[in-house]
Amino acid sequence: MSQDRIPIIVPDLRFDEVESDLRAVFESGQLTAGPFVEKFEQAVAEWVGVSDAVATTSATTALHLALAALDVGVGDEVLMSDFTFPATANAVIQTGATPVFVDSGVSDFAMDADQARALATERTRVIMPVDPFGQPADHEKISAVAADVGAKVIVDAACSLGGERFGLACGSHGDMGCFSFHPRKVVTSGEGGMIATSDATLANRLRSLRSHGAIRTESAGLLFAEPGYNYRLSEVAAVMGLNQVRRLNEILLDRRLTASRYDEKLVSIRGLRVPRPAKNVSWSYQSYVVVIDDGVDRNSVIRRMAERHVETTIGTYACHQHPAYERWGYSIGDLPNSDRFARQALTLPLLPRMPEQTVDRVVEALASVLDSE
Ligand SMILES: Cc1ncc(COP(=O)(O)O)c(C=O)c1O
Task: For CA atoms 165, 166, 171, 176, give the dihedral sign.
Answer: negative
Name the burial class of residue 280, with classes exposed (0-12), middle (13-18) and buried (19+) by CB atoms within 10 angstroms of its CB.
Answer: exposed
Q: pLDDT below 50 — which residues of the chain?
A: 1
Report CA(192)–ligand 1 centroid distance (Å).
10
What whole-number distance in Å separates Cα of residue 252 and Cα of residue 247?
9
The protein residue whose alpha carbon is closest to atom 16 in ligand 1 is 85
Q: Which atom of ligand 1 is closest in space to residue 131's alpha carbon?
A: 1
- Please give the pLDDT value at position 3: 72
Quick one: pLDDT at residue 219?
Answer: 86
CA of 93 to the centre of ligand 1 (A): 15
> Other C-beta atoms within 10 Å of 27: how many?
8
Fold of 15-246: Aspartate Aminotransferase; domain 2 (3.40.640)
CB 128 within 8 A of CB 63: yes
Which atom of ligand 1 approaches the CA of 132 most closely? 1
DSSP string, 295-326: TS-HHHHHHHHHHTTB--EE---BGGGSGGGG
pTM for the whole structure: 0.98
Tell me which of 159, 179, 185, 189 to substitute to probe ligand 1's pocket, judged by most ligand atoms within 8 Å of the beta carbon.
159
Residue among 84, 101, 182 to mutate when testing ligand 1 (max atoms within 8 A of CB): 182
**Neighbouring C-beta atoms of residue 180, cutoff 10 Å:** 30
Distance (Å) from CA 87 to ligand 1 centroid: 6
- Spatial separation of the C-alpha atoms in residues 257 and 278, rounded to whole Å: 17
Distance, in Å, from the CA atom of 337 to the CA atom of 357, rounded to the nearest integer, reads 34
Give the CATH fold of the 248-371 domain: Aspartate Aminotransferase, domain 1 (3.90.1150)
Q: Where are the domains of the chain?
A: 15-246, 248-371
Ligand 1 touching residue 182 (CB < 6 A):
yes
Q: What is the pLDDT of residue 1?
A: 44
CB count within 10 Å of CB 140 equals 12
User: Is the minimum distance from the CB of 283 to ligand 1 under 6 angstroms?
Assistant: no
Cβ–ligand 1 distance for 87 under 6 Å, the answer: yes
b/e sequence 210-221, b meaning 16+ C-beta within 10 Å: bbbbbeeeeeee
> Atom 14 in ligand 1: which residue has the minimum CA distance?
85
Beta bridge partners of 53: 196
